[in-house]
Amino acid sequence: MQTPPAARWVLLGIMVTCSSDALTPRTLCLSAATGAAQQLRALWQHRAGTRSRVFQLGEDMVLESQETMPQTPIFSSMLGSSCSGQVQPDMGERCVDPVYQDGNLVSGSLEALIERLVPTMDYYPDRTYIFTFLLSSRVFIHPHELLAKVGQICIKQKQQLETGTEAEKENGTVKKIISQMTQNLLMALSARSQYQEIREKFRQPVTDKGTILKTKPQSTQKDILSVCCDPLILAQQLTYIELERVSNIYPEDLMQIVSHMDSLDNHKCRSDVTKTYNLEAYDNWFNCLSMLVATEICRVVKKKQRTRMVEFFIDVARECFNIGNFNSMMAIISGMNLSPVARLKKTWSKVKTAKFDVLEHHMDPSSNFCNYRTALQGAAQRSQSANSNREKIVIPVFNLFIKDIYFLHKIHTNRLPNGQINFKKFWEISRQIHDFLTWKQVECPFEKDKKIQTYLLTAPIYSEEALFIASFESEGPENHMEKDSWKTLRTTLLNRA
């Protein structure tokens, strides 16, 4: 029995979702399913005699920045009915179950939401709906079960979709595009699988890079200023690294936060939760940068040079802020606020702290980081109207971004009291994830400087213990607590000798 075009498209998207259980990249399945809806729309327009075109395949199909929350089917106005409870022609019970507010889908049963995933002659799901539903579907149903349900719906539509003299021609078109999408998918899966294997071999905790110091390093030892003394250039290279690292984070990695919490709440085994290293790797980069800043400051022997190093990093953080690289900016500030650095009072007394005070104001944690969120919103608005990639750069503080998704998930329930899925909640989550995807796709406008990046990624990083030793050797302990800490560290050092 020949499978109709709609069945092929929708089944392909769900099949890729199933395969992503083992291979991780659900972004690709989201793109494939979104492409399915777009291609089906083109096919229906072609049958109606309207002009159709082949939509571009790839990640750019996920969502458009201008799209809003999933609306009622666009054909409702043409058919003279709405989804407020009335049944549209040829749509069965599609609009009976889900609940809409101001034309936006806010809740519905799992069965009704699945039905809305499949296009018909009179309805096709918009891209925001496909993205949101497939992104959150695993919270409620396993991919293989979703595949079976969608397959059944597609089979029921077989007679409708195969009527017409151009069915065979459309089948050939769909087969050709599916073949292309499948090849691209397999190539992307293979590339990402190899990337994860390589990353696993070299992935090490930050503490493994730390070195306990027995003596103060020589003043001739290479430091960041000997590699790059221009704050703007260093900020640009940090941005290059940020965009490179963030490009490996996919929607499924972010949605893993929700899946992980639900698995723990349902007392599932930890082995049932797919571990993602993408978030962990990016978080480690933040910690490495913070520790590198602290290391560069604490290991400087002379106070004058140490003061210069502090002021240099303040300027780098300011340039990061101007670029829109809030993550590196926060990492630098965090490094300078670590206790081994913050306690260097003689050094800080020589630092012109006015610029540092401005940076700390932007990252003030009060009122849920209100100042930072205002700055982030401004950068996002600049990005939307930008004409160059340089103006499009928006790199949020990743830890805060993750916390926003986490709390959004914990504050709102997955299901409403009537048992329906709280689709509004998952729309809000997918909207934030979509913003992140838009920002991460910006092509870095800065040229890569291998020398600077090699230093940033491979320079020795002190452990917390080593930082305190270097700090106390630069400026001796000033109170009983510091003296006790210094005594303990020296004892530990002697025991290791």
Domains and CATH numbers, the chain: 5-193 (no CATH), 206-496 (1.10.840.10)
Q: Where are the alpha helices (DSSP H) in 343-479?
A: 345-349, 354-362, 366-384, 389-392, 398-411, 423-440, 450-458, 464-474
Res 468: pLDDT: 92
Res 440: pLDDT: 93
What beta strand segments (E) does 147-285 contain?
Answer: none
Res 139: pLDDT: 85
Residue-by-residue DSSP string for 156-185: HTHHHHH-STTHHHHHHHHHHHHHHHHHHH
pLDDT (tens digit per residue) in 99-131: 888 888 889 999 999 988 888 777 888 888 989
Res 492: pLDDT: 80
Q: In a structure prediction context, what are the per-residue pLDDT tens digits for the chain, which is 497 residues long?
A: 444 444 455 555 555 555 444 444 444 444 444 455 455 455 545 555 443 333 333 344 344 444 455 544 432 332 233 333 333 334 344 444 788 888 888 899 999 999 888 887 778 888 889 899 988 888 888 888 888 888 888 877 775 656 654 555 666 776 777 777 777 777 776 766 666 565 555 444 444 333 444 444 444 568 999 999 999 999 999 999 999 999 989 888 888 777 666 555 554 444 333 456 788 889 899 999 999 999 999 999 999 999 999 999 999 999 999 999 999 999 999 999 999 999 999 999 999 999 999 999 999 999 999 999 999 999 999 999 998 999 999 999 999 999 999 888 888 999 999 999 999 999 999 999 999 999 999 999 999 999 999 999 999 999 999 999 999 999 999 888 988 888 888 888 777 75
Res 136: pLDDT: 87
Res 326: pLDDT: 98
Give the residue among 474, 467, 235, 228 at the shortest CA–CA distance from 348: 474
Res 319: pLDDT: 98
pLDDT (tens digit per residue) in 47-69: 554 433 333 333 443 444 444 55
Kindly report the number of other CB atoms within 10 A of residue 56's CB atom.
Answer: 9
**Residue 107 near residue 46 (C-beta atoms within 8 A):** no
What's the CA gap between 13 and 268, in Å, rounded? 27
The CA-atom distances, in angstroms, between 471 and each of 317, 342, 348, 463 are 22, 10, 13, 12
Place of tokens 């993205």: 131
Res 196: pLDDT: 59
Task: Please give the model's pTM, rounded to 2 decimal places.
Answer: 0.74
Res 11: pLDDT: 56
Q: Tell me if residue 395 falls in helix, strand or coil.
A: strand
**Residue 300 near residue 475 (C-beta atoms within 8 A):** no
Look at the chain and count its residues: 497
Res 169: pLDDT: 60
What's the CA gap between 275 and 196, in Å, rounded? 12
